[in-house]
A and B are shown apart, each in its own frame.
Chain A
Amino acid sequence: MSVLVSVGIILLAVLIMSFLTLSSGAYALFCHYAYGRFSRKRASEYTFLFILGTEITSSCIFLSTYTLVAVVIADLSHLGIDIITWFLTGIMFALSIVSLFFYYHRGEGTRLFIPRKIANSINYHAKTAKTRSDAFALGALCSTPELIFTLPLFVITSGEILQLSISHPSNSFLTIIYIIVPIIPLLITRWLYHKKHNLAVIQRSRVHNKNFTKFILCTSYLLIAILLICFRI
């Protein structure tokens, strides 16, 4: 039962990571400018480096969190970790409300909660990126503003994977899934651009699915909180 709960929490976390839209929105914008300014071959290379930048940065943050959680659990295990679990459950409830009401700005489009200066900075760098390192750095930049939504998930997932490693050898497989699956939306966007779709089509689809995204994020955070209350406290 504990194994099923851990797998369930990890899969819900993967779902949330896939539905967070900053990286995919910035990637769609960057693809538009890259295909507008460079040849198809060069644009394809730069957009691939963006994905690499996003993936490597978020993997590094996750693996660092995993190591930290392993150390903290080893140090605090004699005290019991109920307080930390309650704290994380509270954060999950808070994030479910925040994702429903504050993830997107009100009004047209898919403007996110991030400060306008950061959004404008991402826009500017997407428009003016000229080299491979610019593309990589832009990808790395885009994976950090949403840490408020992803860092608690990293902590919870690390705890669950560590728990699983005691009873089951499948933790490496789950870690790999957790790292790889969230870049699937970027790969889908890349495939769409290869199929000669454009930013207008992609953006209209993002606007159309705004409410669905909010619903999935809210529900997933809520389910994780409920699972933690029922099975971890």
Chain B
Amino acid sequence: METTFNEEELRKELTIDAKGLGIPSGAADSFIDRTLKATKKAMKNRQIITQNDLKRTVTKELAKYNADFAYVYKNRDKII
């Protein structure tokens, strides 16, 4: 499904996820900044962005910094 890259909304979501996982806030902010920067760069040249594209890119970037963070972001709609 088509979506738009809303940086502020994504930042808010990721901050909640990071706090829920117990990642210290300083480290979490750093991970999130770098992830959003890389995601913005990856989405820049695309005319159409799907939810799967966005999820895949964010998960790939988050996995570089924290495996649990990436796992939760990828799987939170597969829990129930």
Task: Give residues in A with beta carbon < 8 Å to B.
Answer: 22, 25-26, 28-29, 31-37, 107-112, 114, 119-120, 122-123, 196, 198-201, 203-204, 206
Contacts and interface: CB of A to CB of B under 8 A. Distances in A.
Contacts of B21: 32, 36, 198-200
Contact of A198 (B15, B16, B20, B75): B20
Interface residues of B, number: 19
A37 B15 CA distance: 9
Contacts of B48: none
B19 interface: yes
Q: Interface SS of chain B: helix, strand, loop or mixed? A: helix
Contacts of B15: 36
B79 A203 contact: yes
Most A CB within 10 A of own CB, among B20, B22, B76, B79: B79
B20 A111 contact: no
Contact of B20 (A32, A122, A123): A32
Contact of A37 (B16, B77, B80): B16
B75 A35 contact: no
Contacts of A120: 77
